[in-house]
Amino acid sequence: MNEPTEIKYSLDENEEPYFAATHIDGVQGLNKADLDNDFIDVNKKIAKLEVLVKDQQKIIEDNKKTVELHEKTLSDMVGDTGWIEFQVPPSMKNKAVSSGFKCAIREVRAGNNLIGNYFVVRSIRLNVSEITGSSMQIAQLPTGFITDNQSFMARQHGHSHPITIECKKDGSVTAFVHPDDQNKTNWVYQEFTWLE
């Protein structure tokens, strides 16, 4: 049987094993190109990992921004203001039917500007009395509620002609009374809805 060969090392002045430096060209079987490979060089590996981590962090941040944009886009896809009262002279307001609904406006929205397709349903409830003369401003809506002028026919009781209600872009709401009913005290109790 062959016994293993004992390897002896030179000792330094402290009697410790000493390993002499050797140039790569002096070692047979080693390929210098393999040693320059950055997968062997630890520092280069760490640098590559740091770049990869930074790239992943950027992707995560971009994805986070995308998610936030989607959440913002979707969070206001459907909106409903509920009924909001508006300005009507106190002597006329909510007095056509005292136990009925109050004068109010409402906006229900589906979609938004970010997705490009949306629609708005707007409604107005009128419960107004003491309408006299041929035309009379009966209310003032908030600016911006009316995008395009709207006009409706409002019914009273069966012995009177309908009253034309006009809502203008400036927010004014006017009642136009038929000539046969101009000398009477008229009223409106009705809800109107339109799509924009």
Residue 111 in domain: yes
Q: What is the pLDDT of residue 24?
A: 62
pTM: predicted TM-score of the whole model, two decimal places = 0.60
Residues forming a β-bridge with 134 = none
The answer to whether residues 155 and 126 touch, using CB atoms and an 8 Å cutoff, is no
Neighbours of 7 (CB within 10 A): 5
- The answer to whether position 52 is within a domain reads no
Rounded average pLDDT over 6-11: 74
120-171 pLDDT, tens digit per residue, is 899 999 999 999 889 999 999 999 999 999 999 998 877 889 999 999 999 9
Residue of higher predicted confidence among 33 and 81: 81
| Domain count across the chain | 1
pLDDT tens across 78-133, in order? 788 999 999 999 999 998 898 999 999 999 988 766 666 678 899 999 999 999 88
Question: DSSP string covering 64-93, please?
Answer: HHHHHHHHHHHHTSEEE---EE-B--TTTB
Q: Which of 192, 84, 188 is nearest to 136 (CA)?
A: 188
Q: Where do we find the tokens 């307001």?
A: 93
Q: Is residue 139 part of a domain?
A: yes
Domain residue limits at 123: 78-195
The CATH number of the domain holding residue 97 is: 2.60.40.1830
Q: Please indicate, yes or no, if residue 58 is contained in any of the structural domains.
A: no
CA gap 191, 100 in Å, rounded: 11
Residue 63 located in a structural domain? no
Report CA 2 to chain centroid distance, whole Å. Answer: 82
Asked if residue 141 lies in contact with residue 124, where contact means CB atoms within 8 angstroms, the answer is yes
Provide CB contacts within 8 A for 145, sequence distance 6+: 105, 107, 122, 171
Q: Does residue 11 lie within any of the structural domains?
A: no
Question: Residue 32 falls within a domain, yes or no?
Answer: no
Say if 37 falls within a structural domain: no
